[in-house]
Amino acid sequence: MNLLVFIFAALVLVCAHLLRAARPTGRMGGVVAFVFGLTVSVVAVKLAVASMGLGRTTDFDRVVNHAAALAEAEPEAPLIVFTGASYSRNAIDDVALTAQLRAAGYPHRVINLSLEAASLAEREAHLDAFLLRVGRAPDMVFIEVAANFDHRPAQFFNNSKFSLRAIEQFDLRTSAWTGLGLMQGGCEGAGDCAKQAGLTGTHFGLNALNIGLVARGARPEEAGELSAYDPQFMPREPMEVDDRLGGLRAGPNYSPRPGPLWIASMRRQLDARLAERGVRETGYYFPPVIDAHERAYMDGLCLGELSHAPCLAPTDPALLAALEGDVWFDDSHLLAHGAEIYTRWLGEELAGLGLLGGGHRFDLSEKASAP
């Protein structure tokens, strides 16, 4: 890779020499020459690395590699893909869910394609990479929906700034969607809006200028593998029992609603693209959290904007009762035992709602013991 950087540097120097002005042209001429030379260099680097299949590889590429290996090992198995952020990474055991479905007579392979803090745009890009790798359309794709991400288009910056993941995802398309979301009120006050818009523009500039692309670029398929399911076994922080039970026992808000216009438009476009690629069914879901307002948001979308699609809101009283025990990593993420409960419920829902051709509902007797 160091040799590759040296070759690119030499190429840029040669181009700079060949494109230099023959005589002084004034300040404006210098600016024009600089912009022209920079543009040529940026395009040349982009074309060169694209021809070699290089990119800014991140943990999400490793998740895709692991998922592709599972799918490629069973080329005849119909695929069910769940794509989300850390909510799903801690909650969906795709190996256990696959085993559950097969024990019930369904041949599907479940794929968890999730990574913490992943926006819909980042998830969509890596879903595309996965589909390209496996060469066949999943039977079903389920897309995680969370109020945090719907109402804060620049949510990723709360977790990471100026990382390879941040630079890699803020291309023109993602930056445009983020800007649209910010203009529609996806920030808290003028100061926060200015900050998030500035970070979006800066990361777009770093992406457009290929920063980190050559020095740290690699072929995604050679980046290694990482399982999306990330079980946790010890709580992150102490939690008051009353707070946990109060949140879980608060009833759902059965009020149909749409999401913010920008993300609703983005989801509609993704629906259409997946249908064009041969995906039979696109559905939506949200893993359980303690906050009743976040669950109510998903419940409202299932009754409103997403009523046309399979929609799995975590509002089933049997599920919430089963999660009243010490099964929480924090107020938004499950421990491994909680993931076991949710994964089992998820399989029962897929079958019980007829998405797999029949089945039975979650059994109240399977709930975890409450304190």
Amino acid occupying residue 279: V
User: Where does 59-186+213-366 sit in CATH, by number?
Assistant: 3.40.50.1110
pLDDT for 369 equals 40
Give every CB contact of residue 157 below 8 A, 6+ residues apart in sequence. 166, 196, 199
pLDDT for 149 equals 96
The pLDDT tens digits of the residues spanning 222-251 come to: 999 999 999 999 999 888 999 999 999 997
pLDDT for 358 equals 46
**Quick one: how far is CA 134 from the chain centroid?**
19
User: Domain spans of the chain?
Assistant: 2-51, 59-186+213-366
| The two structure tokens encoding residue 96 | 């256990």
Other Cβ atoms less than 10 A from the Cβ of 202: the count is 15
Helix (H) / strand (E) element for 49: namely helix 26-51
pLDDT for 340 equals 98
pLDDT for 364 equals 41
Give the Cα separation of 323 and 289 in Å (integer).
10
Q: Within 13 Å of residue 230, how many CA atoms lie on the same side as its CB? A: 17
pTM beyond cutoff 0.85:
yes
Contact 288, 328 (CB under 8 A): no
Give SS3 for 225: coil
Other Cβ atoms less than 10 A from the Cβ of 337: the count is 17
Give the Cα separation of 270 and 264 in Å (integer).
10
β-pair partners for 218: 55
pLDDT for 228 equals 98
Give the Cα separation of 81 and 127 in Å (integer).
9
- Give the residue from 317, 247, 250, 307 showing the smallest Cα distance to 283: 307
pLDDT for 6 equals 53
pLDDT by residue for the chain (371 residues), tens digit each? 445 555 655 666 666 566 555 555 567 877 887 788 888 888 888 888 888 899 999 999 999 999 999 999 999 999 999 999 999 999 999 999 999 999 999 999 999 999 999 999 999 999 999 999 999 999 999 999 999 999 999 999 999 999 999 999 999 999 999 999 999 999 999 999 999 999 999 999 999 999 989 888 899 999 999 999 999 999 998 889 999 999 999 976 778 989 999 999 999 999 999 999 999 999 999 999 999 999 999 999 999 999 999 999 999 999 999 999 999 999 999 999 999 999 999 999 999 888 886 444 455 444 444 44
